[in-house]
Amino acid sequence: MADTQRPDRPEPGGGWRAPFAWIEYAMQWVVFALGGSATFRVACGVGVLALSTVPVIYVIEGPERQQAREHLRWLVLVDAGSRPGGGVAVRGILEDFHQRGSISLAGLRLRDKNLSGLRVPGAQLVGVDFTGTKLVGADLHGADLTAVNFNGADLSSANLAEARLPGGRARGADLRRVDLSRCDCREADFSGADLRDAKLVGTHLYMADFHGATLTGLKLGMTPATGIGYRGTEMSAAVIPGPDLRLANFTRAEMSGTDLSGASLEGNVFAHANLEGARLRGAQLRRADFSDARLKNADLTRAQLNGSILRDADLRGATLTAADFSGADLADARFEDAVVGRIDWFDWLAGLATPPVRIVEIASTWQVVQDQSDNGGTRFIIRAISPQPTPQPTPN
């Protein structure tokens, strides 16, 4: 290399600039020496090649690294599911998997976790065990929850609309204000669950089990729509069908104030259930079992009770106007102050093609009397026939 390319020696001088000048001079010599080395040039070429290869390798190995990360997160999820706590981490992993749709969430064990606010709409959660887990306000809209276990879980205010829950279990679960609209809950077990203020519009509850459940004040029958429909010259109020409750079991259920107007409940079991003040107007209750049920002050106007069992039922103060009791079992039922539509109600029942069981014996215990209603009109109510006093023997 020519001498003209060599670094120039700095001029001697003092002051604060001198150290910097000598440092620069030394660095120029390093560059000058290495620039003339073939080995350095080769090393630089190799370095550039290596640096350009790293991004290519990173892109090629990306899927494998992602798969490894998912596998690790899955192991963390499985391990955390069998341990107490860890709700925040579990929720984050579940939502991340769901957003990327990269892995099935079926069969997980997530007991006693706090997963409130979980957002996994449409997720595949078949057979997941959520026993005792807190899912307050969770979004499970449209999720597949087939055979899921919600026993003892808190699902208050959760969204399960249009979800699939056939064969699911929710024994003792808190389902207050839960949205189950159009949810498939066929053969689901809601024994002991609290469903107050739940939304059950169009819910499929065929053969569901509500043994001991709380359904106080729910509207489970046909609901009048806000608009009015017109057909020809006649005007009829449009109605929205209630949930499918065919063959559902309501044994010992708490249903006071529940509205079941127009509902199809043929063959359903209400044994020992509390239906005080319930509305059953026009309900289809053929062959239903109301054994020892509490129907005090219930409205059974035009209800179809053909062949139903009302043995030991409490019908005190109930409205029975135009109700069909053909072939029903009314043995030992209580009728004090029940309202009927005619003074000869017991004779009318006895004259039916299929009269109620033991109607003659029942008619000998009760009688219909005319009474004045609160609005000043006339009504007919049932009263017990007072037993005749036993004549006392004449003293000798």
Kindly report, residue by residue over 194-249, the tens digit of the pLDDT. 999 999 999 999 999 999 999 999 999 875 544 434 344 343 446 667 899 999 99
pLDDT tens for 360-370 read 999 999 999 99
Tokens 């469903």 belong to: 195
Query: Coil, strand or helix: which one is 360?
Result: helix
Classify burial at 341, counting beta carbons within 10 Å of its beta carbon; exposed 0-12, middle 13-18, buried 19 or more. middle
166 or 66, higher pLDDT: 166
Q: Smallest Cα–Cα separation from 345: which of 363, 372, 357?
A: 363
Determine contact, residues 197/178, Cβ cutoff 8 Å: no
142-168 in b/e burial notation, b at 16+ Cβ within 10 A? bbbbbbbbbbbbbbbbbbbbbbbbbeb
pLDDT tens for 32-84 read 666 666 666 666 667 767 666 666 655 564 555 555 555 555 556 665 656 66
pLDDT tens for 310-335 read 999 999 999 999 999 999 999 999 99
Res 388: pLDDT: 54
Phi first, then psi: give them for residue 368, nearest 5 degrees: -100, 130
Token duo for residue 126: 């078949």
Residues 6+ apart with CB under 8 A from 331: 311, 312, 357, 358, 361, 362
Q: Smallest Cα–Cα separation from 192: which of 173, 179, 208, 219?
A: 173
Inter-CA distances, 195 with 38, 215, 271, 353, Å: 83, 5, 19, 41
**The amino acid at 273:** A
Helix axes 62-81, 38-60, angle to 10 degrees: 50
pLDDT tens for 269-326 read 999 999 999 999 999 999 999 999 999 999 999 999 999 999 999 999 999 999 999 9
Query: Coil, strand or helix: which one is 164?
Result: strand
Helix axes 87-100, 62-81, angle to 10 degrees: 140
Phi first, then psi: give them for residue 55, nearest 5 degrees: -60, -35
How many whole angstroms separate alpha carbon 350 and alpha carbon 347?
A: 5
Determine contact, residues 209/191, Cβ cutoff 8 Å: yes
